[in-house]
């Protein structure tokens, strides 16, 4: 195997390694879909729970006010028994009327609160009813993803080892040249020649250069300056 073949092999290994690392960095579609569904369901439960909490607080406030007003109403009704003239009687009735109206408003408010709370509770119960199935689908997809990650990690480790092995067989000058182009040219230092053109930048390879490549010489693309690789038939 000559140096250009080794460089091409190194490039192939690094491309495969980059692909694995990219796969590891993103949630796979199969997991991302269930993850979105799961997060949305949890947010909805939190939202409904929040609504119920708010209604519960409001209910306690109204209940307190209602019992105060009922006490007040009883007091006014007691006073009605002790009035001494028509004027006091009219005044007591006015207070009773106002208190009764207030009690009625508060009772309506309690009723409205209960209806709303029932609605939210029902939605919450429905959510919770479907939760176990969703949870197990989520857990399964998550486990699959983690499992595929461990496969990818294993593959990446092997590829890293392979790359280091190839690098160790290269002269330092070539290794440095490869790494410089690799960094500068989107992690592709070696470009394969397809149909007499550089596969990365489409620049045509002159016949003279093609001859050099056939002899296994190291040649740079005249367009993108990457190292060119031509597959030579071994037969
Ligand atoms: Zn090129």
57-92 burial: b if 16+ Cβ within 10 Å, else e? ebbeebeebbeebeebbeebeeeeeeeeeeeeeeeb
Cβ-Cβ contacts under 8 Å for 231 (sequence gap 6 or more): 192, 193
User: In the prediction, which pLDDT does 235 show?
Assistant: 43
Question: Is the model's pLDDT at 46 over the cut of 70?
Answer: yes
pLDDT tens, 128-151? Answer: 898 999 999 999 999 999 998 999
pTM for the structure as a whole: 0.61
Quick: pLDDT tens for 185-233: 999 999 999 999 999 999 999 999 999 999 999 999 999 999 999 998 6
- As residues whose CB is below 5 A from the ion ligand 1, the structure lists 198, 200-201, 203, 221, 223-224
Return the bridge partners of 194, or none.
197
Residue count (the chain): 235
Q: Ligand 1 centre and the CA of 226: distance in Å?
A: 6
Q: Of 22, 23, 3, 10, whose CA–CA distance to 218 is shortest?
A: 3
- State the distance from the centre of ligand 1 to the C-alpha of 155, rounded, in angstroms: 29
CA–CA distance from 218 to each of 192, 198, 215, 225 (Å)? 12, 14, 9, 12
The predicted pLDDT at position 234 comes to: 56
In whole angstroms, what is the distance from residue 167 CA to residue 175 CA?
7
Taking the centre of ligand 1 as the mean of its atom positions, its distance from the CA of residue 157, in whole angstroms, is: 30
Model pLDDT for residues 66-101, shown as the tens digit of each residue: 999 999 999 999 988 888 999 989 988 999 999 999
* Residue pLDDT, tens place only, 157-189: 999 999 999 999 999 999 999 999 999 999 999
- The Cα 114–Cα 55 span in angstroms is 8
């Amino acid at each position: 195997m000559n140096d250009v073949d080794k460089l091409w092999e190194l490039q192939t290994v690094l491309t495969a390694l980059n692909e694995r690392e990219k796969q590891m960095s993103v949630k796979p579609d199969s997991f991302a879909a269930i993850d979105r569904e799961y997060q949305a369901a949890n947010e909805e439960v939190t939202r409904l729970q929040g609504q119920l909490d708010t209604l519960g607080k409001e209910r306690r406030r109204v209940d307190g006010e209602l019992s105060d007003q009922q006490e007040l109403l009883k007091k006014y009704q007691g006073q009605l028994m002790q009035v001494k003239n028509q004027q006091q009687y009219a005044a007591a009735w006015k207070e009773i009327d106002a208190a009764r109206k207030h009690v009625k408003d508060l009772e309506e408010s309690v009723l409205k609160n209960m209806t709303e709370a029932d609605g939210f509770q029902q939605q919450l119960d429905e959510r919770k009813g479907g939760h176990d199935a969703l949870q197990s689908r989520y857990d399964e997809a998550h486990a699959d993803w983690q499992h595929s990650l461990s496969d990818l990690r294993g593959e990446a480790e092997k590829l890293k080892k392979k790359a280091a092995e190839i690098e160790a067989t290269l002269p330092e000058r070539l290794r440095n040249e490869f790494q410089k182009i690799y960094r500068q040219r989107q992690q592709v230092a070696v470009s394969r020649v397809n149909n007499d053109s550089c596969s990365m930048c489409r620049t045509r390879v002159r016949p003279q250069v093609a001859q050099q490549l056939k002899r296994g010489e190291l040649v740079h693309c005249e367009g993108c300056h990457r190292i060119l690789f031509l597959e030579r038939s071994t037969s």
